[in-house]
Structure 1
């Protein structure tokens, strides 16, 4: 849900709202797929396309809109 929000933006928001920030100790553990993607795959992809995260987020949004449209068209 926060894929298109940078860590810096999130930290600033928390500071403005006086909300404490905590780190889940599993976030650095690359045994978890999400962390391998975040710590290994995304940095490698960013060497090819520095805007890869935004590109993937836009693609996901586009697919979501397509699914909604297809669902609406096939329900009628």
Structure 2
């Protein structure tokens, strides 16, 4: 399993992607991550910051769901 990237690295990657100076595929290669990984980070950032993507839970909601699952076990 790959080592998780730090939240700061993710924020930086999302910020670069939102600038739109480079295609996602080029940026992801330069950062050493997959295109799908960067797209997921973008979708999660949208859900967390703007609530644009209704199919994605926010990070806070994900944490609550995980906590409830642990309690139910």
User: What TM-score range do you get, normalising by the shorter chain?
Assistant: 0.3 to 0.5
TM-score normalised by L of structure 2: 0.37
Query: Which structure would you say has the larger RCO, counting Cα contacts within 8 Å and 6 or more residues apart?
Result: 1
